[in-house]
Amino acid sequence: MRPTVEEQLHGTCRILEAVVAPCVAEPFARTILDNLIANLRMVTAALPMVAGFLRDDNDATEQQLLAMCEALPPELVARIQEATAASEIDVADGVALEERNRLLRELLAAAVCSSSLTPDIRRAAENHMINRASRMPMRYVPTAASVNTSTERS
C-alpha cells in the first residue's frame, strides 16, 4: 500500500517541521509542537514492532498468570483459566491483540493485589513487569523545552 503508514507519518512530521513550526513563535506552544513531532517519530519507529510485542507479551503474561494460580483465590483462578483457554489470536488482528493484552494485564493487576502471594511469586510477577517495560516498543521521551539562545541586546 502506498503511501505506507510509516511514509504518511514521516510526511506529517516533515510538514509540521517545515510549514507549521516556523510559524510557532510562542515558546510553550513550540515545545508542545516539538514533543508532538517527537511522539509521531517514536510511533513511526515502533509501529512495525507492536504486533510482535503484543503477541510475546500475551504469551509471557499468560504463563505468569498460570504460575500464580496456586496462590490466588478460586474466582480469580477461574477467570485466568477462561482467558488462557481462549483460542490463539491472529497476529494480523491488532484490535484483538490489544484487547487480549488489556484483559491479561487486568487479570495480572488483580493477581498481584492478592494478599496470598508468596514472596517468590510476587518477585516473579515484578520481574515479569520489569521485563515487559524494558521490551515495550513505544517509549516516549519528551524533548527538552525550547530555549532562546539569542544573545542580542536591544
Q: What is the pLDDT of residues 11-39, one digit of tens each?
A: 999 999 999 999 999 999 999 999 999 99
* Greatest mean pLDDT among 2-6, 101-105, 143-147: 101-105
Give the pLDDT confidence score for residue 152 in this predicted structure.
43
pLDDT at 146 > cutoff 50: no
Average pLDDT, the chain: 90
d(CA 69, CA 67) in angstroms, rounded, equals 6
pLDDT in tens, 95-115: 999 999 999 999 999 999 999
User: Cα 66 to chain center, whole Å?
Assistant: 23
Cell of 93: 488482528
| 144 pLDDT tier (thresholds 50, 70, 90) | low
Residues 103, 64, 43, 31, CA torsion sign: positive
pTM above 0.85?
no
How many angstroms separate the Cα of 116 from the Cα of each of 72, 74, 110, 131? Answer: 7, 12, 12, 23
| 145 pLDDT tier (thresholds 50, 70, 90) | low
d(CA 10, CA 116) in angstroms, rounded, equals 49
pLDDT at 149 > cutoff 70: no
pLDDT in tens, 74-97: 999 999 999 999 888 888 899 999
